[in-house]
Chains A and B, each alone.
Chain A
């Protein structure tokens, strides 16, 4: 079945450690996104990528990094510079075609910093 796979679903990290969240899609979508959800703050955009080898910062990119070496993959690294990394992270993708506007989301990854 086609879809977006995020892994791991749950992740614990010690302060000062970098951690990478995986996002893979087999929908043949061109654009991919990372959002963060915190209670009462909705979904906030971290990074997005329209095509391979290109990505743009969202509203809260500080302390995060991404890469887009393959169309199917858009990993997110939460670095030690991110001051409050505990959150629910959501990856999404979108088909780059006419008259298609919706994002498709993965199931999310919950990161807890101990």
Chain B
């Protein structure tokens, strides 16, 4: 049973426009959410995170929004750049544990 879901396997966006990547979760016991970026044959790199007590966190071009009632989080990238083309994973941590669960990923392609 997939508790962290990324329902869009791929997304294409024009350079300079906004990229919105979505993630849904089913377990109310998650207390911390993260977004990672991954290139082929490399390890994921951390982008941004948000605690369950917040609804927004911003870092430069990246903003994460959390809607707890809908069990939904999103990553906004503005403006999108060709170097942002990668696979993006959302992840969630079970409250009070060290267990992190990842989604299936969304491949973002930013077109020049």
Contact = CB atoms under 8 A, between A and B. Distances in A.
Given A40-B9, A40-B104, A42-B103, A107 B43 contact: yes
A22 B80 CA distance: 36
Contact of B43 (A40, A45, A59, A105): A105
Nearest to B31: A101
Nearest to A103: B100
A41 B104 CA distance: 5
B105 A101 contact: no
B41 to A, nearest CB: 7
Contacts of B105: 42
Q: Which of B44, B45, B49, B89 has the most CB of A within 10 A?
A: B44
Contact of A108 (B36, B41, B45, B91): B41
A45 B105 CA distance: 15
B30 to A, nearest CB: 11
Interface in B21-69: 32, 34, 36, 41-46, 49, 51
B43 A108 contact: yes
Interface secondary structure of A, over-half rule: strand
A64 interface: no
A71 interface: no
Interface in A56-107: 56, 58-59, 88, 90, 92, 94, 96, 101-107
A50 B43 contact: no
A48 to B, nearest CB: 6
A101 B9 CA distance: 26
A41 B93 CA distance: 18
Interface of B: 6, 9, 32, 34, 36, 41-46, 49, 51, 89, 91, 93, 98-105
